[in-house]
Amino acid sequence: MTKLLSKWFFLVLLLLTSALNAQVLDQQNVKVGICPQDDFTTLRVQSFSGNWKVEFGGASQTREFLAEGEDNSMMLVPKGLVARFSTGKDFNGGYKKIILSGGELLNLEIPDHQPILLQGIIEIAYDETSIRIVNTVTVHQYIVSTLSKIAITNEPEALKALCIMARTRIAWVLANTAHKEEAYNVCDSEHCMEFDGCGFNRELVDILTNMTTNKVLKYHDKLIMPRFHDTCGGKISSAKDIFSVDEPYHQAKPDLLDGKGSENCFHSPGFHWSIELQKVDVLDFLSLSFAGGAERVYTGWEPEKIDSNGRIQTVTIRGRVPKIISGNEFHENLKVYFGPNSIKSMKFTMELLRRTVIFRGMGDGDGVGLCLYGADGLAKKSQKHLDILKFYYPGTDVK
């Protein structure tokens, strides 16, 4: 009898703890830095839905409500933040912080930016040069927003795989944030994961995030930092080759199911690409990007090391003092200079003409980890989400 009782007790305890655990991760808070790289001294918020509580000063000495449809313009002046409501009320105290919470949807307008729709808590503060915004949302809300923005698929099994990937990534970032010095855990760019508020949220992503609640990818019981990219161009590269880091779950392999048929990402617009650039523009790019603007310091460049998949690992920039940099760093700079849709990956060949260079390439992104178009392709080939995750992150388990 006691044996039976203790067995029941153990079962109930197990159920209770797993119920608690199920809540833990997806309900945890994430602090997202909104446009942390940009400097601005004015902004405007409008309540799209709900009554927003506006607290001035941080310790909530002064408060006001922003009703649905009303807006509030804020400005950074020498003494701090000031605000003017569309109702005519002015708050000229020069506050250290302004915190908005309690409403449902807030439209945020930053000069020279598309408006961003936000939920959760919005904290507005400043440093020497600019207003700084931090948006606190739950892990669940974060996954739904970021995936709705980056996922190109409507396949439920591919999306489920992506939910688990994104949750693992945010859990990893929360534990190992690169933004320790900042007031936020994640930035809103590709560096962490692209985040553009909740204006793009898709119902299906929300449902599937709930269906995969709390599930993450582990390698030997340890959380991984899952990498992903738009299109591999038929061949996945290893993290070792591209980033010089030992991540055994990021292996080089063909993006083919059972090693045959057409590539899983063959239907991607980034599978094949080409672009013709002026030679003078390439020389300007080299000097401006790698010599701090000095005129034509570099006379050319060439691939130094190429991995087994044809992806350029390192690059030599020629000049009086030659420079060797990683292909990834070279690519980041190319995207900044020529735009994100110019040279889509470092897997390309070049044809030199008299005045121009034709780049012919495959894939979009760094080619390491999960291929977003490939995951969509695998789901279309009837693969389940666990198969998709095992395919791109070999040796991992979903827990």
Which chain residues interact with Zn ion by CB under 5 A? Answer: 187, 191-192, 232, 255, 265, 371, 374
- Residues with Cβ within 8 Å of 321's Cβ and at least 6 positions away in sequence, in order, are none
Q: Residue 336, SS3?
A: helix
Question: Is 132 buried (19+), middle (13-18) or exposed (0-12) by CB count in 10 A?
Answer: buried
User: Which residue's CB is nearer to Zn ion, number 106 or number 187?
Assistant: 187
User: Which residue's CB is nearer to Zn ion, number 214 or number 237?
Assistant: 237
User: Which residue's CB is nearer to Zn ion, number 25 or number 232?
Assistant: 232
Contact in structure between 368 and 265 (CB atoms under 8 Å):
no
Q: Following CA atoms 174, 175, 179, 185 in sequence, which dihedral angle do they give, to the nearest 10 degrees?
A: 20
- Distance of alpha carbon 129 from the chain centroid: 25
Q: How far is the CB of 294 from Zn ion (least distance, A)?
A: 30
User: Which residue's CB is nearer to Zn ion, number 182 or number 397?
Assistant: 182
Q: How far is the CB of 36 from Zn ion (least distance, A)?
A: 8
User: Which residue's CB is nearer to Zn ion, number 195 or number 290?
Assistant: 195
CA distance 152 to 169: 18
Q: How far is the CB of 8 from Zn ion (least distance, A)?
A: 47
Q: Which residues pair with 368 in a beta bridge?
A: 237
Q: How far is the CB of 264 from Zn ion (least distance, A)?
A: 5
Q: How far is the CB of 280 from Zn ion (least distance, A)?
A: 34
Contact in structure between 268 and 297 (CB atoms under 8 Å):
no
Q: What is the identity of the amino acid at 77?
A: V
User: Which residue's CB is nearer to Zn ion, number 72 or number 309?
Assistant: 309
Nearest Cα residue to 73 out of 81, 85, 90: 85
CA distance 384 to 264: 14
Nearest Cα residue to 224 out of 212, 235, 216: 216
DSSP-assigned letters across all residues of 302-334: EEEEE-TTS-EEEEEEEESS-EEEEHHHHHHHH
CA distance 125 to 221: 39
User: Which residue's CB is nearer to Zn ion, number 57 or number 233?
Assistant: 233
What is the torsional sign of CA 277, 281, 285, 291? Answer: positive
User: Which residue's CB is nearer to Zn ion, number 64 or number 182?
Assistant: 182
Contact in structure between 124 and 43 (CB atoms under 8 Å):
yes
Q: What is the CA radius of gyration of the chain?
A: 24
Q: How far is the CB of 381 from Zn ion (least distance, A)?
A: 13
Q: How far is the CB of 191 from Zn ion (least distance, A)?
A: 4
Q: How far is the CB of 5 from Zn ion (least distance, A)?
A: 51
Contact in structure between 361 and 347 (CB atoms under 8 Å):
yes
Nearest Cα residue to 273 out of 365, 362, 372, 374: 362
In angstroms, how far is the first alpha carbon of the chain from the final one? Answer: 34
Q: How far is the CB of 370 from Zn ion (least distance, A)?
A: 9
Q: How far is the CB of 340 from Zn ion (least distance, A)?
A: 17
User: Which residue's CB is nearer to Zn ion, number 215 or number 229?
Assistant: 229
Contact in structure between 223 and 393 (CB atoms under 8 Å):
no
User: Which residue's CB is nearer to Zn ion, number 214 or number 251?
Assistant: 251
